[in-house]
């Protein structure tokens, strides 16, 4: 693994839309979403194995890494996020639980990893915060760093499953903006995943929450 850290060179949307709200992220998720359910389903789909090396892109406060790593302590987990503030939060959370994960800071460009080093990569509630160009770039970077045969698992806002889900999703859009969330609610994430080179792309489930339809997607980097 390359182990350099870079200055953040790209603008980004913080975990809760605004930098001053980042400290409230965990509480807000607990109050607005079925947190145990959506995180447990994500980690069940990830199904981490002892000999695997797994990347979480956009680890936020480290909540998924904490669950995944306690479920499979011998898996090598790595985390990449653009925001130094969440890295501090995630670092303390994981340290308090005696969990050792390499948390790297992303500069918004090329991922700081060599080609084909991860068995699996996952990302949760991140792609709705990326503009269309950045979505495409990050999916192709994930594709590059996965081994042939490697698997991508995404949990994020997807196509609203009914009119009420479309209406409540305006809450997320008002906080995070329409520019980055529109492709999600139009159901376009699977197209981005396919365009990055992934095969067998599919929606594998969804949960209707108080603030929108949270969907799971998967794709495979085929062996050549
Ligand atoms: C809503 S939070 C989700 C955090 C975590 N994955 C979770 O499940 O709770 C979105 C995360 O994406 C990160 N993020 C936003 N833009 C990013 C970018 N361009 N590259 C990497 N991470 C980004 C934010 O710093 C934040 O930690």
Dist CA 45 CA 47 (whole Å): 5
Query: What pLDDT is recorded for position 200?
Result: 98
Q: Which residues of the chain have pLDDT under 50?
A: 1-6
Q: Which residues contact 93 (CB under 8 A, 6 or more apart)?
A: 61, 62, 63, 66
CA of 224 to the centre of ligand 1 (A): 31
Q: Quick check: 4 and 112 in contact, CB under 8 A?
A: yes
Dist CA 11 CA 18 (whole Å): 12
Give domain status of residue 134, yes or no: yes
Query: What pLDDT is recorded for position 5?
Result: 46
Give domain status of residue 100, yes or no: yes
Alpha helices (runs of H) in the chain, residue ranges in sequence order: 25-32, 35-46, 63-71, 84-96, 132-145, 163-176, 178-185, 189-195
Q: Which atom of ligand 1 sits closest to the CA of residue 56?
A: 6
Give domain status of residue 11, yes or no: no
Q: To 10 degrees, the CA torsion angle through 42, 107, 134, 217?
A: -10
The CATH number given to whatever domain includes residue 47 is 3.40.50.150
Into how many domains does the chain fold?
A: 1
Long-range contacts of 91-94 (CB under 8 A, 24+ apart): 91/62, 93/61, 93/62, 93/63, 93/66, 94/62, 94/65, 94/66, 94/69
What the block records as the tokens of 179 is 């520019």
Helix axes 35-46, 63-71, angle to 10 degrees: 50
Give domain status of residue 113, yes or no: yes
Q: Which residues contact 36 (CB under 8 A, 6 or more apart)?
A: none
CA of 58 to the centre of ligand 1 (A): 4
Query: What pLDDT is recorded for position 8?
Result: 62
Q: Is 59 in the pocket of ligand 1 (CB under 6 A)?
A: yes
Give domain status of residue 94, yes or no: yes
Q: To 10 degrees, the CA torsion angle through 206, 106, 83, 102?
A: 80
Query: What pLDDT is recorded for position 4?
Result: 45
18-51 pLDDT tens trace: 999 999 999 999 999 999 999 999 999 999 999 9
CA atoms within 13 A on the CB side of 213: 20
Q: Which residue owns the Cα nearest ligand 1 atom 2?
A: 15
Query: What pLDDT is recorded for position 7?
Result: 59
Sequence length of the chain is 224
Q: Which residue owns the Cα nearest ligand 1 atom 18?
A: 82
Q: Is 15 in the pocket of ligand 1 (CB under 6 A)?
A: yes
CA of 18 to the centre of ligand 1 (A): 12
CA of 14 to the centre of ligand 1 (A): 7
Range of the domain at 103: 19-220
Q: Is 127 in the pocket of ligand 1 (CB under 6 A)?
A: no
Give domain status of residue 13, yes or no: no
Query: What pLDDT is recorded for position 223?
Result: 87
Give domain status of residue 203, yes or no: yes
CA nearest neighbour of 131 among 87, 198, 188, 200:
188
Q: Which atom of ligand 1 sits closest to the CA of residue 86?
A: 27
Give domain status of residue 1, yes or no: no
CA distances from 110 to 73, 89, 120 (A): 28, 24, 18
What the block records as the tokens of 170 is 């305006």
């Amino acid at each position: 693994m390359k182990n350099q850290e870079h200055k953040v060179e790209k603008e980004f949307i913080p975990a809760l839309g605004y930098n001053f709200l980042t400290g409230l992220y965990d509480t807000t998720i607990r109050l607005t979403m079925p947190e145990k359910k959506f995180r447990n389903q994500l980690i069940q789909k990830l199904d981490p194995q002892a000999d695997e090396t797994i990347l979480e892109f956009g680890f936020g406060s480290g909540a998924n890494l904490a669950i995944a790593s306690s479920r499979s302590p011998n898996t090598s987990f790595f985390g990449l996020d653009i925001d130094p503030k969440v890295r501090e939060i995630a670092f303390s959370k994981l340290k308090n639980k005696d969990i050792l994960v390499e948390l790297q800071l992303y500069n918004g460009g090329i991922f700081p990893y060599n080609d084909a080093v991860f068995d699996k990569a996952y990302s949760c509630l991140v792609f709705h915060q990326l503009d269309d160009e950045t979505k495409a770039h990050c999916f192709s970077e994930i594709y590059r760093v996965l081994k042939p045969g490697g698997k991508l698992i995404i949990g994020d806002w997807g196509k609203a499953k009914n009119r009420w889900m479309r209406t409540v999703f305006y809450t997320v859009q008002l906080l995070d903006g329409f520019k980055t969330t529109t492709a999600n609610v139009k159901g376009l994430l699977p197209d981005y995943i396919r365009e990055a080179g992934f095969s067998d792309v599919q929606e594998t489930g969804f949960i209707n929450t108080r603030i929108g339809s949270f969907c799971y997607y998967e794709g495979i980097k085929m062996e050549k």
